[in-house]
Amino acid sequence: MSKTLIGMVTFGNLPFTQLSIKGIRETVNKPYDIFIVVGKPEDQETINWLNKENIPFIWHEENYGFPYSINDLYDYAWKLNNYDNLVIIGNDVIPYKYSIDSLIEVADKTDHEWICAREYNVKNLVTDFPQSRNYFSGASMIFNFQGEPWKLFDKESSKIVLNSAGLSDVHNLALYKKIVLDKIGYIDSNYFPAYYSDNDIVRRAISVGTKSCSAGNAFYFHFWSRTIHQGSGGSDNRYFENNRTYYKNKWGGDFGKEKYDLPFMGKEYYSLESLRIKNQGLNIQDRSYEKDVINFWKRRHG
């Protein structure tokens, strides 16, 4: 029987983390462990709750950003432990019945290395079930925590249907086998604090021929960027444009319009002001440079 770790990164917003973990506990029947990376240094509230629930975690002493935090999940799953599968789930995501069990079953019974779930978000919910709009307010869909409107969703199914298209919403709910780390390596921490790191790893996954798919019945409910729209701890849109520029420099074009087969056209270093970034190619296996890179981008972003 395979060993599965369900990993989550949080940046505050404990009530959503609690809903997500409650959803995991209610819907997953296959064996699993949970591990949390607490990325917000002052988030004592989440630490207290995790201790109370006996959920293992690490707590960052400063904000190292989302890519670094995902890399910590990789290390916990495959450097410090020997899990077969790592399921990464967002802390503003609630899995529907059969979703995570189906991801694990596909991993156990096929040679797919990276298996994605399917998003059903708050905008879909209020369109399909107009009565659910009463649980949310404003254009940002602020949730009032007065009920469980996502349970109006009526497409839960135990029948697994594989779709060839994968590599979508890869950090909302997806399963990775250890071979993904072997073939692609870590997230590029230059995408500090967030945005475009998922595009980058997808680009690298395609380039090395990672075998991916999505499970058509593995639905999850997505509240939609709660760290930005409801609470604190998220990063604003100026980082989106900064990281988009870095991505375009790295790949010779925006996502879907890349011109380079190799990062930085295969050049050994990418130079930016006082920083020379060693090009680690398609497979990043070294984390020793990460904090220097993060501190550079912190200074640059101001």
Range 4-301: architecture per CATH: Alpha-Beta Complex (3.90)
**Integer Cα distance of 242 and 81 in angstroms:** 35
**Integer Cα distance of 20 and 92 in angstroms:** 7
Q: Could you tell me which of 111, 63, 297, 284 has the C-alpha nearest to residue 183?
A: 284
Q: Specify the pairing of strand 85-89 against strand 4-10.
A: parallel
**Integer Cα distance of 77 and 33 in angstroms:** 10
Cβ distance 125 to 221 under 8 Å?
yes
**Residuewise pLDDT in 10s, the chain (302 residues):** 799 999 999 999 999 999 999 999 999 999 999 999 999 999 999 999 999 999 999 999 999 999 999 999 999 999 999 999 999 999 999 999 999 999 999 999 999 999 999 999 999 999 999 999 999 998 888 899 999 999 999 999 999 999 877 787 789 999 999 999 999 999 999 999 988 999 999 999 999 999 999 999 999 999 976 555 545 545 556 788 889 999 999 999 999 999 999 999 999 887 776 678 788 899 999 999 899 889 988 887 76
Cβ-count burial 20-48 (b if 16+ within 10 Å, e if not): bbebbeebbeeebebbbbbbbeebeebbe
Return the H-helix or E-strand segment holding 218. strand 212-222
Q: Specify the pairing of strand 33-38 against strand 4-10.
A: parallel
Start-end of H helices in 110-236? 122-128, 178-183, 197-208, 226-229
Start-end of H helices in the chain? 14-27, 44-53, 66-78, 99-109, 122-128, 178-183, 197-208, 226-229, 237-251, 290-301
Q: Could you tell me which of 123, 121, 117, 135 has the C-alpha nearest to residue 216?
A: 117
Give CA angle at 179 (177, 182), nearest 5°. Answer: 135
This prediction has a pTM of 0.94
Whole-angstrom CA distances from 8 to 91, 196, 236, 275, 288 are: 6, 18, 21, 31, 23
